[in-house]
Amino acid sequence: MVAVEAKGQVFNLPDELYYTPDHAWARVEADGTVTIGADEFLTKTAKTITYVDLPNEGDAVEHGRPFATMESTKWVGKVSAPVSGKIIAVNNTLIDTPETVNTAPYTDGWLIKVQPTALTQDLTKLIHESSKVREWILSEAEKYVK
């Protein structure tokens, strides 16, 4: 776990995950599928998530392209796909309990699961190593944390 302290807050980012610049994460599962969610930096800075609009199972996602919209009491934004592929599962529990993205961003608050089509290529474009994750979050905190 990379714990980054910045401006009086601590942001936890698991080592095994890959991150996009707009704070989506990707976890490669043992079966080769990829689980995607929103990281703790996004969930803490956006405040309580009040609405999540997700695509449908069977839809395609493309690395770097928006696939979901989230709203909070402070923010409305799109979440970009860290990897390309076909959606094999959607976390529909977020329709009724969108705040789960805040309370459990790396477990129950996942957004979609994907069967990737260009995994190796896509992973090279993401933020991953602990030192790079730390540097990135410190930079983001300078811009977005008051």
Number of domains in the chain: 1
Q: Which domain covers residue 36, as residue numbers?
A: 2-144
What does DSSP say about strands 18-19 and 9-13: parallel, antiparallel, or unpaired? Answer: unpaired
Burial of 131-141, coded b for 16+ CB within 10 Å and e otherwise, reads: eebbebbeebb
For 108-146, the pLDDT digits (tens) are 999 999 999 999 999 999 999 999 999 999 999 999 998
CATH number at residue 23: 2.40.50.100
For 12-54, the pLDDT digits (tens) are 999 999 999 999 999 999 999 999 999 999 999 999 999 999 9
Q: Which residues fall within 8 angstroms of residue 30, CB to CB, at 6 or more apart?
A: none
According to DSSP, residue 129 is labeled S
